[in-house]
């Protein structure tokens, strides 16, 4: 496990999730003077119960601290993000008798999209999110807020070389399925019940050619309207739902028919 940079969270939900999920990570809670509603009082009670220092400041000071972001009168100084090794995470999931489900991001630049993907991944039961070390949005304050606390609950992995990481996961028996705007198989025609790593491409170019070559299959969600493509986080959410749907049917003993098997 490795660590990222120390940072700042702001907003009721991100700060509340941090205090609930991992209060040891929170070093200091900042609250705007005069903010005393029920939600803020709950944060204060959690912080004091966990021994977190509380600092009351004028709202203008919080505005400066958060760069003018919508902080809702609260912010928190937090410890570095802890990253897990994706191979170790997959092995730990298998040791629990589960099929690993990881989500890898290929040059996703928008922190809001990162947070939205994390939210869908955690909600659909994915075990981890793989974030490239370079040229990728990082799990900072904006991503934390968009994730509605999900980044506190899903394991984060970091990849210095995403293509190499995917190759290593393949060697460990995971199938790599990329998302494509076109020239891919409809996801319900694929067998997505086994150990998987879903690759979500960046906002502008999608999954890069180098990463495409590391994928076993490319899945494309068919579009019926005039819209040319889906937002990366929307496509990720739809793919994750299809994976969960197939896995639940497999558990019920009905694997469906007509899908392409990856085995």
* Bigger pLDDT: 124 vs 27: 124
Of 64, 101, 136, give the one whose Cα is nearest residue 248.
101
107: left (phi over 0), alpha (psi -120 to 50) or beta: left
Phi-psi region of 68 (alpha: psi -120 to 50; beta: other; left: phi over 0): left
pLDDT at 232: 87
Q: What is the pTM of this model?
A: 0.76
Distance of CA 113 to the CA centre of its chain: 9
- Cα torsion through 23, 28, 30, 34, rounded to 10: 80
Domain 2-78 annotated CATH 3.40.50.300: no
Q: Is the pLDDT of residue 176 over 90?
A: yes
Mean pLDDT computed over every residue of the chain: 86
Q: 82-251 sits in which CATH class?
A: alpha beta
pLDDT of residue 3 exceeding 60? no
Task: Break the chain into its structural domains and give their ranges.
Answer: 2-78, 82-251
- CA distance linking residue 147 with residue 122, whole number of Å: 9
Distance CA 77, CA 29 (A): 7
Question: Quick one: pLDDT at residue 66?
Answer: 84
- Lowest-pLDDT range of 47-56, 117-126, 177-186, 248-257: 248-257
pLDDT digits (tens, 9 = 90+) for 103-154: 999 989 888 899 999 999 999 999 999 999 888 887 777 788 788 888 888 9
Residue 261: phi, psi to the nearest 5? -85, 140
Tens digit of pLDDT for each residue in 57-112?
A: 999 999 888 888 888 899 888 877 778 999 999 999 999 999 999 999 998 988 88
């Amino acid at each position: 496990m490795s660590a990222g940079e120390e940072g700042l969270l702001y907003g009721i939900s991100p700060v509340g999730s941090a205090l609930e999920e991992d209060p040891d990570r929170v070093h200091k809670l900042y609250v705007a003077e005069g903010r005393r509603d029920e939600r803020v009082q709950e944060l204060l009670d959690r912080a004091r119960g966990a021994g977190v220092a509380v600092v009351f400041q004028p709202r203008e000071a919080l505005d400066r601290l958060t760069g003018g972001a919508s902080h809702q009168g609260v912010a928190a100084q937090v410890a570095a993000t802890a990253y897990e090794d994706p191979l170790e995470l997959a092995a730990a999931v298998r040791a629990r008798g589960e099929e690993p489900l990881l989500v890898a991001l290929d040059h996703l630049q928008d922190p809001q999209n990162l947070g939205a993907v994390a939210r869908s991944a955690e909600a659909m039961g994915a075990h981890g999110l793989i974030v490239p070390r370079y040229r990728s949005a990082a799990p900072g304050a904006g991503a934390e807020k968009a994730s509605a606390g999900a980044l506190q609950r899903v394991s984060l992995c970091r990849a210095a070389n995403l293509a190499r990481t995917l190759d290593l996961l393949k060697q460990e028996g995971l199938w790599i399925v990329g998302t494509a705007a076109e020239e891919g198989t409809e996801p319900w025609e694929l067998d997505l019940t086994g150990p998987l790593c879903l690759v979500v491409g960046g906002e502008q170019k999608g999954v890069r050619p180098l990463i495409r070559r590391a994928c076993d299959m490319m899945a494309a969600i068919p579009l019926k309207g005039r819209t040319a493509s889906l937002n990366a986080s929307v496509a990720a959410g739809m793919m994750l739902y299809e994976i969960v749907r197939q896995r639940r049917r497999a558990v019920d003993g009905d694997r469906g028919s007509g899908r392409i098997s990856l085995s």
